[in-house]
Amino acid sequence: MKTYTKLLFLAACLACFTFLACDDDEMPSCDNCPDELITGPNVPTPYTLEFPSFLGQPNLPADNPMTEQGILLGRMLFFDPILSADSTMSCFSCHFPEQSFTDGLDKSVGILGIPTQRSAMSLVNMVFMEKDFFWDGRANSLEDQAFLPIEAHDELNDSWENVETKLRRHNDYPALFRAAFGIDRTSEITRDLAVKAIAQFERTLISGNSKYDKVIWFNDLSQEFTEQEQLGLELFEVETAITLEHPGCTHCHSGPNFTDNKFHNNGLDNVASLADFSDLGRGAINGVFFDNGTFRTPSLRNIALTAPYMHDGRFETLEQVLDNYAQGGHGVENEDPNIRPFDLTQEEKEALIAFLHTLTDTSFVNNPRFQNPF
Ligand code: HEC
Ligand code: HEC
């Protein structure tokens, strides 16, 4: 580029930036903004994900290899309100680390004060899931998932175009994107890279150090279940000789992450017809009438920290959850056959809940790498 063209380029750049700075509320699209060179390190350091092997096979897409710099960038984006239209909310606003990344509300509320349809999900061990993110499984990957909250009107209510502009003109993000993805110019900062970084951060959110893990998987001799917790475990697990009276929670909350990752109607709503669910759940995504009112089995890791419960946060306590399961559903035709009435004494109920509390992993919620970096 000749010197005078360069100067013109710089002048245009300045003009554009001044304009943007003056008019923060209504930001114009930056199509005419100059594309700037970014300097600084551009060779990301590969990151080896460490986790206890009993948790399963991680799902690490080949087109988004994890790097130290990618994870750091993802963490910043996750906690940064720059992702919302009025800079008041971030992913963090509905996903607090100390509540296993939930928000304590029955239904989450976005920047406009409009409640979403559903309760925020716990973000835990998602790297062991292959697909079916959200209660209704409508996102196929963590990358796909992360596109959605930005533009959802009841969440961050921004546009990706606007977010890209804000990131490109930001003081720090260009260098962070370069460090994470080796890009050279601000125009290469895209929504695709932003969601890749967020997904990398989310894949590090691994919990496998609860009391349950220490007793069952690590054989840590300094830890043992109390008699109450042991009784709770026995009630939770499916017996070999199933009695109808047995809760058998592991029919669905199975495996190291306490989920079969399948969709079920677990007996919440008493509807006359499958068309009558107020939230059709899976059925609204795949169009299968029989799947109306089914939702993905959530993991129960850290369940004591994530009240209220179910896709709509209808139960405030684990006692209420158990009482509902004990009724054995309402005879709605697509209720899972494993939803059957059972009768627990008060002592057994408390034992089952005490067992669920052993799934709390304080080293996960307090992990310094998962906290707000700002
Ligand atoms: C307004 C509150 C709110 C904001 C902001 C928000 N979320 Fe969520 N999140 C939710 C709710 C509610 C659900 C469940 C929605 C559903 O199933 O329809 C959810 C679900 C998820 C899931 C699915 C987890 C699973 O196990 O399937 C992921 C991942 C997630 N959010 C990540 C993010 C990220 C990343 C951001 C920021 C880009 C974000 N969320 C912003 C409320 C929010
Ligand atoms: C037929 C499969 C199935 C069985 C059996 C089952 N669950 Fe569930 N569980 C689910 C599904 C599906 C959901 C989500 C339902 C929804 O939100 O609509 C769920 C949700 C939950 C939740 C709320 C989780 C959250 O993040 O809000 C808890 C707690 C829970 N189950 C505990 C149990 C316990 C304890 C048992 C045994 C008494 C049990 N479940 C038996 C499938 C099952």
pLDDT at residue number 240: 62
Q: Which residues pair with 115 in a beta bridge?
A: 109
Ligand 2 cavity residues, CB under 6 Å? 122, 247, 249, 251-253, 264, 266, 268, 295, 297-298, 300, 303, 306, 309-311, 318, 321, 325, 336, 338-339
The ligand 1 atom at the shortest distance from the C-alpha of residue 119 is 12
* pLDDT tens-place string over residues 155-176: 999 999 999 999 999 999 999 9
Task: Report, as an integer, the average pLDDT of 58-66.
Answer: 97
* pLDDT tens-place string over residues 234-255: 999 987 655 666 888 999 999 9
Tell whether the torsion through CA atoms of 125, 307, 140 and 370 is positive or negative: negative
pLDDT at residue number 338: 92
Superfamily of domain 35-206: Cytochrome c-like domain (1.10.760.10)
Mean pLDDT of the chain: 91
Does residue 134 line the site of ligand 1, with CB under 6 A? yes
Q: In degrees rounded to 5, what are phi and psi of residue 291?
A: -90, 0
Whether 11 has a pLDDT exceeding 50, the answer reads: no
What's the predicted TM-score (pTM) here? Answer: 0.92
Decide if domain 211-358 falls under CATH 1.10.760.10: yes
pLDDT at residue number 34: 73
- What band does 30 get if pLDDT is binned at 50, 70 and 90? low
Whether 33 has a pLDDT exceeding 70, the answer reads: no
* pLDDT tens-place string over residues 175-214: 999 999 999 999 999 999 999 999 999 999 999 999 999 9
C-beta pairs of 229-236 under 8 Å, 24+ apart in sequence = 229/351, 229/354, 229/355, 229/357, 229/358, 231/348, 231/351, 231/355, 232/351, 232/352, 232/353, 232/354, 232/355, 232/356, 232/358, 233/355, 235/344, 235/348, 235/351, 235/352, 235/355, 236/352, 236/355, 236/356
Task: Report, as an integer, the average pLDDT of 305-331.
Answer: 97
